[in-house]
Amino acid sequence: EGLSTVIIGRPNVGKSSLLNSLVQENKAIVTDIPGTTRDVIEEYVNVRGVPLKLVDTAGIRETEDIVERIGVERSRQVLKEADLILLVLNHGEELSDEDRRLFEAVTGMDVIVIVNKTDLDQAIDLDEVKQLSGDHKLVTTSLLKEQGVDELEEAIASLF
Ligand code: GDP
Ligand code: MG
């Protein structure tokens, strides 16, 4: 089976790119259009001996789009059953209230916080990220430049 590992984050932060990087295939749809991932995509992957069922969600947010809403409802369900959460943020954007709500939504769970897009100029407040992260592991990546994935895999393996 695999430990249910759910990737959450605002649209466009790089969730599908993350799944692709870990799976090293290209089954998830990656585009620059927010809301492209309208359903939950699952991939099985072995990270340093740890079997994971990776789940790429449509995110948890309110939306008017019915097709998206179905994806969002399913992602809520999936979140409840998660063994591990990968919470993705964008280095190139300021933290939003939506980001902060995601931290609240995963309180008490095993979480790795990923600040992606480090190739972009820093707009995120890393002190606040650290504060919100608390005891969670924090990893920075540029999935575009294939940086930080090793560290992320190490962080995952060290939890199990
Ligand atoms: P999702 O909506 O969270 O699933 O985000 P995607 O994985 O679809 O990525 C959204 C956009 O950001 C795509 O154009 C990606 O190529 C781009 N992207 C992903 N990772 C990075 C990164 O590390 N740096 C930059 N500059 N762009 C990235
Ligand atoms: Mg996506």
Smallest Cα–Cα separation from 87: which of 115, 62, 61, 47?
115
Find residue 56's DSSP bridge partners.
7, 41
**For residue 48, what is the DSSP state?**
T
115-158, pLDDT tens digit by residue?
999 999 999 999 999 999 999 999 999 999 999 999 999 999 99
CA of 37 to the centre of ligand 2 (A): 4
For residue 32, is pLDDT > 60? yes
Q: Is CATH 3.40.50.300 what the domain over 3-145+153-159 is classified as, yes or no?
A: yes
What residue ranges do the domains of the chain occupy? 3-145+153-159
- Cβ(159)–Cβ(110) under 8 Å? yes
36/24 Cα distance (integer angstroms): 20
Q: Is this complex scored with an ipTM above 0.85?
A: yes
40/56 Cα distance (integer angstroms): 6
Give the lowest-confidence range in 2-6, 46-50, 76-80, 107-111. 76-80
The pair phi, psi for residue 56, each rounded to 5°, is -100, 115
CA-nearest residue for atom 2, ligand 1, is 12
